[in-house]
Structure 1
Amino acid sequence: MKPLRLSVRTKLTALYGGAFLIVGLALLIVNYLLVSSTLPDTAAFANGATAGAQIEVARAYPMDTTSILPAERAQATQLVATSITEYRSDVLSTLLWQSLVALAIAGGLAVLLGWLMASRVLRPLHAITSTARKLEVENLDRRIDLDGPDDELKELADTFDGMLDRLAVSFDSQKRFVANASHELRTPLAVQRTLVEVAMAAPDASPEVRKLGEHLIYTNERSERMIEGLLVLARSDRGLTARAPVRLDEVAATVIRSASAMAEEAGVTVESRLRPRTVSGDPVLLERLVTNLVHNAITYNRQGGWIHVDIGGDPALVVRNTGPQVPLDAVPALFEPFRRLSGDRTGDSRNAGLGLSIVRSIAKAHGGTAGAEPGGRGGGLVVRVRLP
């Protein structure tokens, strides 16, 4: 059984209300004791009242010495004592019940005021929590900027803002480094590719040199694809600087046509259902998103398999494919950079493992999400991209 979880506001309200009730109860007991000690003592008051009555009778009838007999005096004393006892009981009972009612009403007001006070005290913490929930790597520009007295809560908010400033600088530096490093690496790779191709084209090149050159070109192409993927990933992680209306169905149709030769070579059938859908975003990044999904669906498939591309409302894009079985617990790792499954996916060295990472990053840059699930009996994946 899960333990009951109480909010801080509820705990503070209970603390305020409990403290008030304890103080009020102590005050009620003290007031009860003071009033009880102030009321006349029953026996002393009864004897005094009877003696006073006897003196008054003696003064009125000085010659009558038998006006008040001892038995009558005892009866009168008992009557007075009973009256005083009932009076004390009524007074104390009335005082006790009225005090309890007043304490209950005041306790209810104390709980209500405690709830309002706790809400006011915790308002800065709600602002901090709300800001923290909205933060993402692509959106580190939010700040709390708490106004108010220079107390512990403002110090906490200012410390949180300072931490966000440092995180924003760190992430921005990292993204610039990835983009700059990837850009600088493209030139030497292009030079290496040219030199290898020139060496292979030489008339006196031996078969061993040509075989080595083919292997070097293959490795070079893979490195170029990885660097290109890093550049796209760094660009999408920085967010969008401009947006334009993009027909996602037309983008998907273009990508499918360009991938037809690749699908035919792999023995994979491509099916599609492209309904009109306009998205506000970057056309280049959106084309890369669709391209990565279609190429992945073809690459990680089987001979005689199929892929299906669906453009619609929500989700905006769904790509299904047949292929190797994908364990459910392994799906989240596929969206991490340089992560592949074991077996066929690990053994395929044609890709750098950035395809789905780029898909997720581009979807996030457009304010959407990307998710996947195993394809069922036919294997493969079902990838869904939601875009606003």
Structure 2
Amino acid sequence: MDKLRSGTVGRRFTILYTTGFLGSGIVLLALTYLMSGGRVTGVAPQQPPTGRPDLAAAEQQIRDLQRQLSDVHAQQSHQLLVGSLIALVVMAGVSLLLGRVLAGRVLRPLRLITAATRRISAENLHQRLAVAGPVDEVKELADTVDGLLERLEASFVAQRRFVGNASHELRTPLATMRASLDVAVAKPEPAPQAVALAGRLRTELDRVEHLLDGFLVLARAQHGTLADRSPVSLGELARAALTDRAADIAAKTLTVDDEARPDAWTRGTPALLSRMVENMVDNAIVHNKESGWIRITTEHDDTEARLVVETGGRVLDQARVDRLTQPFERLGADRTGPEGSSGLGLSIVAAIVAAHGGRLALLARPEGGLRVAAALPSAAGFGRVTR
């Protein structure tokens, strides 16, 4: 039974078919042998009259014939048993082959459904299995999957429509409030309380706009299409991100070990990949301690281009680190600093990496701190060709 549970459906079907065939064959063989063993019976000879030697000789001949018949019957039973066992072994092999063929034919529609379902992704949710044939269990399964794909397509269309409309619908009120604050502060001799209130409101508006921008990028990475793919250097994006955050790095007196090389090329959407690298660098700066350190390295081969960002600090729990790719997950209150962390940084990184067919690894360093490594499909050779 353990073999039946551990194998594939086709293997289980083959084993069940073969077991049933062998069981019925063994029962049939046993019945045949038992029935053949009792068909010949001996005849008790009569006592010949006294003084008749010819009858005694005939009686002795009859007993000899009975012994010969019994020997022939035993030999035939043995031959029948041996022949049946040989036939059973041969048919066991035949039943294995036949069971495999039957299992393949029975499961062929399910394999077609599985292959077609694997080909359907977020970019071609309009496709359907559309299995033809009689209304049976297989067609009901295919129709159920088609209904699920239809609901998923409607959900993805709604998500993409939100990404397209949310920017205008949500940014317009923010711009209006910001303009109203500017007008109020620009009046001659504004009240000091109004100026202070306007400063606080601008800070909150900046945080709301930053959060909104994070939502839009996350939605685009998770539910959008990557049409504008082009070669991008992860090393150059890292250098640009470090340059943009030079003031924040200096404010925390962080030591940066920049080992990013420009020859780590990948292919994707430049805007999304730039946001991915910026978020990795921002995460290393915002959630670092004063006078801490940051190490940025790049690696590449024929299959992958990797960007690794490491920071020092206290020892972290790996189970909690694994949850940081979920929106609004933080490692405690220390991850909500004055920089206005939205809790979307690493979740956006994970979504962008997944959208480009890569993988993201978060590791709590044994000596303390965090290691964030993004591996993307390599565009190997592009830098050598173009330079």
Aligned match of 1:167 in 152, 156, 159? 152
Aligned match of 1:385 in 365, 370, 374? 374
Partner of 1:63: none
- 8 Å CA contact retained: 2:130, 2:142: yes
Deviation string for 1:93-140 (max 9, x for gaps)? 111210121012112211221123213322333444556667766775
Asked whether 1:360 is paired with 2:345, we answer no
Asked whether 1:243 is paired with 2:236, we answer no
Shift of 1:247: 2.1
Partner of 1:7: 8
Task: Check 1:135–1:352 CA distance in 2 against 1; reply closer, same or farther (3 A cut).
Answer: farther
Asked whether 1:100 is paired with 2:85, we answer yes
Cα separation, 2, equivalents of 1:303 and 1:70: 126
Cα separation, 2, equivalents of 1:378 and 1:183: 43
Task: Check 1:148–1:168 CA distance in 2 against 1; reply closer, same or farther (3 A cut).
Answer: same
TM-score by length of 2: 0.85
Asked whether 1:70 is paired with 2:55, we answer yes
| Structure 1 counterpart of 2:94, one-letter code | L
Partner of 2:381: none
Shift of 1:207: 2.3
Shift of 1:214: 1.3
Cα separation, 2, equivalents of 1:378 and 1:34: 81
Partner of 1:59: none
Larger mean Cα displacement after TM superposition, 231-240 or 340-349 = 340-349
Cα separation, 2, equivalents of 1:272 and 1:167: 43
Deviation string for 1:63-120 (max 9, x for gaps)? xxx9952332221111011000001111111112101210121122112211232133
Cα separation, 1, equivalents of 2:129 and 2:320: 37
- 8 Å CA contact retained: 2:298, 2:308: yes
Shift of 1:284: 1.1
Task: Check 1:329–1:132 CA distance in 2 against 1; reply closer, same or farther (3 A cut).
Answer: farther
Partner of 2:43: 43
| Structure 2 counterpart of 1:167, one-letter code | L
Larger mean Cα displacement after TM superposition, 200-209 or 280-289 = 200-209
Cα separation, 2, equivalents of 1:152 and 1:112: 26
Shift of 1:250: 1.8
Shift of 1:21: 2.0
Partner of 1:61: none
| Structure 2 counterpart of 1:305, one-letter code | G
Note the residue ranges of structure 2 that are not aligned, 5 or more in a row.
378-387
| Structure 1 counterpart of 2:151, one-letter code | R
Partner of 1:55: none
- 8 Å CA contact retained: 1:315, 1:384: no
| Structure 1 counterpart of 2:29, one-letter code | L
Q: Alignment partner of 2:346: what SS?
A: helix
Partner of 1:122: 107
Aligned match of 1:351 in 341, 346, 349? 341
Deviation string for 1:208-251 (max 9, x for gaps)? 22221111111000000011111211222213013111222222
| Structure 1 counterpart of 2:93, one-letter code | G
Cα separation, 2, equivalents of 1:203 and 1:333: 52
Q: Alignment partner of 2:257: what SS?
A: strand
Note the residue ranges of structure 1 that are not aligned, 5 or more in a row.
52-65
Cα separation, 2, equivalents of 1:264 and 1:153: 65
Partner of 2:331: 341
Shift of 1:366: 1.1
- 8 Å CA contact retained: 2:265, 2:305: no
Asked whether 1:318 is paired with 2:308, we answer yes
Partner of 1:331: 321
| Structure 2 counterpart of 1:382, one-letter code | R
Partner of 1:292: 279
Partner of 2:191: 206
Asked whether 1:152 is paired with 2:137, we answer yes
Asked whether 1:252 is paired with 2:250, we answer no
TM-score by length of 1: 0.85
Partner of 1:19: 20
Task: Check 1:211–1:351 CA distance in 2 against 1; reply closer, same or farther (3 A cut).
Answer: same
Larger mean Cα displacement after TM superposition, 148-157 or 266-275 = 148-157
Task: Check 1:324–1:140 CA distance in 2 against 1; reply closer, same or farther (3 A cut).
Answer: farther
Q: Alignment partner of 1:331: what SS?
A: helix
Larger mean Cα displacement after TM superposition, 288-297 or 252-261 = 252-261
Partner of 2:267: 280
Cα separation, 2, equivalents of 1:136 and 1:341: 33
Q: Alignment partner of 2:297: what SS?
A: strand
Cα separation, 2, equivalents of 1:196 and 1:245: 42
- 8 Å CA contact retained: 2:117, 2:129: no
Cα separation, 1, equivalents of 2:253 and 2:179: 32
Shift of 1:171: 2.7
- 8 Å CA contact retained: 1:225, 1:351: no
> Which structure is larger by alpha-carbon Rg, 1 or 2?
1
Shift of 1:320: 0.8
| Structure 2 counterpart of 1:387, one-letter code | L
Cα separation, 1, equivalents of 2:200 and 2:116: 52
Cα separation, 1, equivalents of 2:327 and 2:19: 54
How many residue pairs are counted as aligned between the two chains? 369
Shift of 1:149: 5.5
Shift of 1:43: 2.4
- 8 Å CA contact retained: 1:302, 1:323: yes
Partner of 1:54: none
- 8 Å CA contact retained: 1:300, 1:324: no
Shift of 1:162: 2.2
